[in-house]
């Protein structure tokens, strides 16, 4: 260092554990990669395989073609359904067209589909806590006939919803399910409002919010404590990434921001910041996190701190069509 080299200001960087890819996202991306390897390009993918621009762009470069609907797919090329799940009508249409299709739906989302069908078979009307238009919600509502599920987005919705009448004119029993990527705290508030009105409302057969969402939210709560700024790597259309920003702010972080990658950082955010926390949504790849850390290291004299947290060992099997 010579006399003209500016002295970097010290900055503590705390890394959340766990962060980034979950097992469902990893499986979905592998399905697309292996399909291209086995069947050649192009491979068609209905909707974004996961909600991350960098992942989608990389797969496009490998030969994946992302479409909004099966109508855009030729009959003679494989098609992959995204990790968020699809309505039942989609695989039914693919079968009718004799298409080769690979279902990359996260097994934990599929579990919610199974639970919804179980409640419907038992004669219950389902209250689905989630966000309108999110692919996972569209897929879950599409598992059952129209009118079998009512979407609850807010506490206000929970206070307004009316119990449907059963076929014999009596009150129809109720059940509920949740979008897997929601904030646990937000879900709890809505559920509290629902149970105040419908005390008999049963608990789900299993927890709907997935282990990866739970673990990342718990980790960011720990991270937020003592951080002047928390940066969440993830795309704006990633529900679980957006929730991490909200959780960080509620947990006491001085500030929290969602960024696609290091190029989206406004370095003015770092004014007065002594400790920055870094995490990533479940669809954000680790190289983006390392790129952010490197960019911070170019501007500050960093001290790295790895937060302890839940170690994830969950894996999901690939479809037999790709492993046989």
The residues annotated with a catalytic role in the active site are 136
CB atoms within 10 A of CB 258: 20
Q: At what angle do helices 239-250 and 184-197 cross, to 10 degrees?
A: 90
Angle at 49 between CA 45 and CA 54, to 5 degrees: 115
Q: Which two tokens stand for residue 111?
A: 């579990």
Residue 13: name the closest of 200, 235, 319, 289 by CA. Answer: 289
Q: What ranges in 166-284 are assigned the alpha helix state H?
A: 184-197, 211-224, 239-250
Q: Give the integer Cα–Cα distance in Å for 75 and 160.
A: 45
Instruction: Tell me the DSSP string of 78-114.
Output: -EEE-TT---THHHHHHHHTT--EEE---HHHHHHHH
CB pairs under 8 A, 24+ apart, for 92-101? 94/70, 97/70, 99/70, 99/73, 99/75, 100/39, 100/321
Q: Which two tokens stand for residue 318?
A: 């690939």
Residue 278: name the closest of 244, 248, 233 by CA. Answer: 233
Q: Give the integer Cα–Cα distance in Å for 317 and 72.
A: 28
* Three-class secondary structure of residue 76 per DSSP: coil
- Cβ-count burial 159-171 (b if 16+ within 10 Å, e if not): eebeeeeeeeeee
């Amino acid at each position: 260092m010579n006399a003209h080299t500016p002295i970097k200001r010290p900055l503590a960087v705390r890394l959340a554990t766990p962060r980034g890819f979950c097992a469902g996202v990893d499986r979905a991306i592998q399905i697309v990669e292996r399909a291209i390897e086995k069947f050649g390009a192009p491979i068609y993918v209905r909707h974004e395989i996961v909600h991350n621009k960098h992942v989608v762009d990389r797969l496009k470069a490998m030969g994946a073609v992302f479409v909004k609907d099966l109508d855009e797919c030729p009959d003679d090329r494989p098609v992959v359904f995204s990790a968020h799940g699809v309505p039942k009508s989609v695989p039914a249409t693919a079968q009718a067209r004799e298409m080769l299709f690979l279902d990359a739906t996260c097994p934990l989302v599929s579990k919610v589909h199974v639970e919804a069908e179980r409640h419907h078979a038992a004669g219950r009307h389902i209250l689905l806590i989630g966000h309108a238009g999110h692919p996972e919600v569209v897929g879950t509502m599409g598992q059952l006939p129209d009118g079998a599920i009512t979407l609850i987005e807010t506490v206000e919705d929970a206070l307004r919803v009316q119990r449907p009448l059963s076929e014999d004119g009596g009150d129809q029993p109720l059940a509920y399910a949740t979008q897997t990527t929601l904030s646990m705290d937000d879900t709890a508030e809505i559920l509290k409002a629902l149970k105040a009105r419908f005390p008999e409302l049963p608990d789900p057969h299993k927890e709907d919010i997935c282990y990866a969402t739970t673990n990342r939210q718990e980790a960011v709560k720990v991270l937020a404590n003592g951080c002047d700024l928390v940066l969440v790597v993830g795309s704006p259309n990633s529900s679980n990434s957006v929730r991490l920003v909200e959780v960080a702010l509620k947990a006491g972080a001085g500030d929290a921001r969602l960024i696609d990658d290091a190029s989206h950082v406004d370095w003015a955010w770092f004014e007065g910041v002594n400790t920055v926390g870094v995490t990533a949504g479940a669809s954000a790849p680790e190289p983006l996190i390392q790129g952010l850390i490197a960019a911070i290291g170019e501007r500050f004299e960093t001290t790295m701190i790895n937060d302890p947290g839940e170690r994830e060992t969950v894996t999901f099997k690939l479809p037999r069509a790709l492993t046989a």
